[in-house]
Structure 1
Amino acid sequence: MSRERLKALVRSGALSGGAIRDPASKVRGDEVFSLTVPEPEPAHNEAQDIPLRVTFEDEHLLVVDKPAGLVVHPAAGNRDGTLVNALLHHCGGSLSGIGGVARPGIVHRIDKDTSGLLVVAKTDVAHEGLARQFAAHSIDRRYLAIVNGVPRAKDGTIDAPLARSSADRKKIAIVADGRGKRAVTHWTRLSLLRNAALVECRLETGRTHQVRVHMASIGHPLLGDPVYGRAGKDHRKILNDLQFSRQALHAAELGFIHPVTKRKLSFSSPMPSDMQELFKALGV
């Protein structure tokens, strides 16, 4: 089995009855571990004819521009109608199997209500090559975010470890007790708006909810964020008038080295119409 497959099994609780779920855990040398490898399952994900915006595609991988509202892979509460279902239809089953039955081809994710670019692996070789780049933090990922308030500085770096919140398991939090994984976000203020700003966030790491938590931690949560943000009265009216009900976050740029051809690839996606309307409504 590949390293990625073994890591996925450990994270799923297959090692010693779930006693260890972190593949980076250190061993002393005198322990005995048992790995429960599940029997092969028939793919329960159905291919569904869901429209896809494909930015790039070859025999090894494809880059997709995901709309807000589309879940990346099936999970509890979203068993179908996901990006994976659309990919199975588009690729005819030709997707990397490293992610397992539930996540074929999925190398990384973006939140359901975040729009923008992500790369999908068609082959295991491509998946492993992309995973190495993500692990080395060499992937260029830039997000556009509309945040509450105007940052005083033109730019900055947030270096704060993230982990699942002990108070609310549905949330991610900045932690200082050694549980967290290092998370680094470099941000730049692009445009001044009415008690708001358009900000570019370049991810050095890619943790769950990283941009949302980091920007909230410096007092500038994303507008529309139902988990980490709280809009003021004026902003609430604008959001309600526009029926804007998601975090204002868009994965606008994605760059990496093609894992097979070794070409440097770079892609960009314009800000979607709903964020453009919010940007105009907040114009000074």
Structure 2
Amino acid sequence: MSNLSRARQPPTFGLPWPELNDGLFYNDVVRAADSRLTLIQFYSSKHNNSAPPKGWLQRIENGQITVDGTVVTDPNTILRVGSELVYHRLPWNEPEAPYLVEILYEDDDMIALNKPPGLQVLPGGLFQQRTVLTQLQWWASKETSSLVCQGPHPVPVHRLGRGTSGILLCAKTKLAKTRLAAYFANGTSHIESSSKTSVDLCATRKVIKIYRALVTGIIGEDKVIIKQAIGMVQYPGVAKGLYVATSSGKPSLSKVEVLERDVHKNLTLVQVEIQSGRPHQIRIHLSFIGHPLLGDPLYAIGGQPKFFGSDSVEDNFALDGGFLRPANPVPGDCGYNLHAYQVVLSHPTNSEVIKVTAPLPSILQTNQSAQAISTD
């Protein structure tokens, strides 16, 4: 096994974000079922998750939509079958996000990054440029390696929540991307409760993910196995719905080990191995057993959101015509303490067992390890 947990200080890359991003262009083609709709009817019905009707009206009158290459500002323009529509989302200043990323491991096929909290992995919502993917694109364009320059730029093969820090695996070749993605999909679809070693597990599951988390309350048992299913419910401000603990969801498995209990502060430091990889699984599972992550703005005891109230009314919209930021917490909000600490995987091309470890934030270190570091 290649153990990279005690590597020297990892290299760092990243460019500062520009004040404004480049904006976006969204393309549509009018189909037969949508013919005879007006321009405002088309956008307010087909893309109602992007903006309320009055927001789309503003965008149309602002000249941000073209029909067959011509700017159209009349919202009552009748559409014809086959017409090409383009909506230009104007450049905007994205919310603050870190930009420096550490390289924990790299070879010709893959790269393991240490993602800082607050940095989104892939474009979505307000974050279209300030992402790990963008930094990888910029980094690859500056590399002198012929592999990087001639091939596609590295791409993440899984996700971490914006507020989660730690190991993010990225593929540098098409083969590595296909195999690593299959590793994660297989781990989620085949949930088992065996207690094999990491090396044994890599023979069947190919990838093992271990996290550190700080939760509220004192967990009494030293080890807890959580098998609560995770599914989606409607939630204001989240167009596709919010993942929560629900009996109608998909099977999920988390193995929790208590590392330290702080009775005075009413906190427990835990290590979590997730055998499945449902979105927000650790946050949901730990809150489900009554111990939400310290600082989690979204999930409360029971694996449910803290707030289910209605969101802003239709007449309120942002300067770009879109919906205002939801009043209630949403999944991308940060503040919780969760770190992807260690990944053990079978290398995608040579099957060597690789172990990568990301340095722990001080708040997620045990007292014993923190004392050892301070005396080094």
- Same topology, TM > 0.5: yes
> Which ranges in structure 2 are unaligned for 5 or more consecutive residues?
1-32, 34-97, 143-147, 188-204, 302-333, 371-376
**2:314 paired with 1:221:** no
CA shift at 1:51, angstroms? 2.6
> Matched residue of 1:127: which SS?
helix
Residue of structure 1 equivalent to 2:229: 161
Residue of structure 1 equivalent to 2:184: 134
**2:104 paired with 1:55:** yes
Contact 2:154/2:173 (8 A) holds in 1? no
CA–CA distance in 2 between the matches of 1:141 and 1:260?
19
Contact 2:269/2:366 (8 A) holds in 1? no
CA–CA distance in 1 between the matches of 2:254 and 2:185?
16
> Matched residue of 1:110: which SS?
coil
Taking a change above 3 Å as real, the CA distance of residues 219 and 159 of structure 1, as seen in their structure-2 partners, is same
CA–CA distance in 1 between the matches of 2:136 and 2:337?
25
CA–CA distance in 1 between the matches of 2:141 and 2:345?
25
CA–CA distance in 2 between the matches of 1:277 and 1:130?
31
Structure whose CA Rg is larger: 2
Equivalent residue letter for 1:72: V
**2:276 paired with 1:205:** yes
The normalised TM-score by structure 1 is: 0.68
Taking a change above 3 Å as real, the CA distance of residues 175 and 128 of structure 1, as seen in their structure-2 partners, is same
Structure 1 counterpart of 2:113, from 64, 67, 71: 64
Structure 1 counterpart of 2:251, from 156, 178, 182: 182
Contact 1:189/1:200 (8 A) holds in 2? yes
Structure 2 counterpart of 1:124, from 164, 168, 174: 174
Contact 2:213/2:272 (8 A) holds in 1? yes
Residue of structure 1 equivalent to 2:161: 111
Equivalent residue letter for 1:228: Y
Taking a change above 3 Å as real, the CA distance of residues 69 and 181 of structure 1, as seen in their structure-2 partners, is same
CA–CA distance in 1 between the matches of 2:354 and 2:345?
6
Residue of structure 2 equivalent to 1:149: 217
CA–CA distance in 1 between the matches of 2:132 and 2:346?
23
CA shift at 1:172, angstroms? 1.4
CA–CA distance in 1 between the matches of 2:272 and 2:214?
11
Equivalent residue letter for 2:228: A
Structure 1 counterpart of 2:136, from 87, 102, 111: 87
Fraction of identical pairs, as percent:
29
Equivalent residue letter for 2:276: T
Residue of structure 2 equivalent to 1:191: 260
**2:124 paired with 1:75:** yes
CA–CA distance in 2 between the matches of 1:277 and 1:259?
33
> Which ranges in structure 1 are unaligned for 5 or more consecutive residues?
1-16, 18-48, 98-102, 231-244
